[in-house]
Amino acid sequence: MKIATFYTMTPQYVSDNDLNNIEVLVCYIVKKYWYKGKNILIYCENIYQAIRIDEMLWQKPLNAFIPHSLIGENITCKVPIEIAWLKTKINSSSYDVLINLVVGIINIASNFNEIVDFVPYKEHLKKLARIRYKEYRKIGFKLNITKFSN
């Protein structure tokens, strides 16, 4: 069964930049899935966001080492977590989980059995999350909504 989980932002995690707060939460969610032995694709809006996530995963969570790379980096071994952005070529069969940071509809969603997505606190971003929610439901995902807690 295909599952999509939306994490809602609570006021305690909100500042002037909703998306940067979500990026920090991604580090903790990645840790959770990696500890379960999952291969993860973090799908970013652009290369700049991908680089921010890459840098954050070297720092957060403080009590963990999360092996990861930007897609296309010249690495001699396979890493369980890769970071991609729109317009990068992706072999979606290599991953168990998609963590979506793209605010629009993504054309790769149907290739995954599990998706993690986010409902930001700001209203205009919530509207976009609702559209993604409807799209996931339309392509057969069972949908869950949860508040993030680490």
b/e per residue 108-146 (b: at least 16 CB within 10 A):
bbeebebbbbbbbbeeebeebbeebbebbeeeebeeeee
Lowest pLDDT segment from 65-69, 75-79, 90-94? 75-79
- What is the per-residue pLDDT for 65? 81
Q: Which residue has the higher pLDDT, 114 or 31?
A: 114
Q: If you average pLDDT over residues 70-83, what whole number do you get?
A: 83
Domain ranges, ordered by start, for the chain: 3-147
* Predicted model pTM: 0.90
Residue 75 has pLDDT above 90, yes or no: no
- What is the per-residue pLDDT for 92? 83
- What is the per-residue pLDDT for 102? 94
Residue 114 has pLDDT above 50, yes or no: yes
Quickly count: other Cβ atoms within 10 Å of residue 60's Cβ. 18
Q: Which residue has the higher pLDDT, 50 or 28?
A: 50
CATH topology of domain 3-147: Rossmann fold (3.40.50)
Residue 14 has pLDDT above 60, yes or no: no
Return phi, psi of residue 117, to 5°. Answer: -140, 180
